Amino acid sequence: MTRPEPALSVVVPMYNEESVLPALAGRLRAVLDDLGEAYEVVAVDDGSDDGTATGLTVLRAGWPQLRVLRLRRNSGHQAALVAGVLRARGRHVVSIDADLQDPPETIVEMLRVARADDLDVVYGVRVDRSTDGPFKRWTAAGYYRLMRRLVGKQVPAQAGDFRLLSRAVVEALRELPEPAPVLRLVVPWLGFPSGEVTYQRHRRAAGRTKYPLSRMAGLAAQSVTSFSAAPLRFATWLGLVGVAVCGLLVVFTVVAWALGATVDGWPSLYVAILFLGAVQLLCLGLLGEYVGRIYTVVQGRPAYVVAADTAADEQGDRAAG
């Protein structure tokens, strides 16, 4: 017994966002109720330990379209996003941050563009990031430049995780064996017809960022290793340079030995040992990145565990009643 699918699903991953919940619900609901079409909001509570879960329960009492997907533990923004998107039932699925940095009003524009131009993907592109600090902007610019080189030109610059997907894209994502694909790379990689909608990135409505430097670095490492073996090639290249330098040092040492100045060879010996050690360590590190990635994929361990889904509860209620 499946209910008719809503025209639109809005997926909102949230981790300890109790302070933005009222503002978020107000803005989002105003936009979606105005749409005049059936919709669902999938709030993915990423193992919050503040009042987010309670807040969502309260909201749900007066907002039947709100569906709460609670993850067992904090699994990270990407995993929460994937959990919500893969379980969304709408014919179109929009993912948006909880902190109102992405304006909910833009959802309407995305839907309009997708329908008018018959597109499967509509990216939200940030035209102005002045509300993000210079460090965030600088690292983000580097990240997108690198990703465009690794994945291809179809990766839009300055497009985060505010985007619209059609049902076809969601189904394609479900077929991927990866437990936690990096959506902002895998979606362009799938190659569906896509378009863009521009918007101003606003300041966080309340609360503080959950993306410290360590998480940004983690996302970057995962992005690179899930899409390219180029760093391995770089390691090989570096190894070749190391070998060449060592060859020169060997010649140098032999000449010094022939001239009877062997003691003078000690510094070069040191340099050779240190250099080789450094190159080997670097290569080992890079290999480790890939081995780690292979390890997690081969394990097939899910990136998250769903604790509860209010949609399933409703079906249970109906079956019982």
To the nearest whole angstrom, how small is the minimum distance from the Cβ of residue 23 to Mg ion?
Answer: 13
Work out what residue 210 binds among ligand UDP, Mg ion, none; the CB cut-off runs from 5 to 8 Å by kind. ligand UDP
| Cα–Cα distance, 42 to 39 (Å, whole number) | 10
Q: How far is CA 125 from the centre of its chain?
A: 15
Residue among 101 and 222 whose Cβ is closer to Mg ion: 101
Q: Of the candidates 29, 67, 70, 77, which one interacts with ligand UDP according to CB under 6 A?
A: 77
| Site map 188..227 versus ligand UDP, x via CB under 6 A | ---------------------xxx----------------
* 154: contact with ligand UDP by CB under 6 A: no
Residues 222-251 binding ligand UDP (CB under 6 A) are none
Q: Return the DSSP state at 256.
A: H
- Which residues between 81 and 110 bind Mg ion (CB under 5 A)? 97, 99, 101
Output helix, strand, coil percentages for the chain, rounded to the nearest 5.
Answer: 55, 15, 30
3-state secondary structure of 245: helix
Q: Pick from 65, 101, 106, 226: which binds ligand UDP (CB under 6 A)?
A: 101
What is the C-alpha separation between 114 and 121, in angstroms, rounded?
7
Q: Which does 76 bind (CB under 5 to 8 A by kind): ligand UDP, Mg ion, none?
A: ligand UDP
Q: Which amino acid is at 123?
A: Y
From 69, 80, 93, 159, residue interacting with ligand UDP (rule: CB under 6 A): 80
Q: What sign does the CA torsion over 172, 177, 179, 181 have?
A: negative
Binding mask 10-29 for ligand UDP (x = CB under 6 A): ---xxx-x------------
Closest-CA residue to 207 (of 73, 124, 100, 135): 100
How far apart (Å, rounded) are the C-alpha atoms in residues 210 and 14?
10
Total residues at interface with ligand UDP (CB under 6 A): 16
Q: Which of 204, 281, 218, 250 is nearest to 79 (CA)?
A: 218
Give the binding site for Mg ion (CB under 5 A).
97, 99, 101
Give the binding site for ligand UDP (CB under 6 A).
13-15, 17, 46, 74, 76-77, 80, 97-99, 101, 209-211
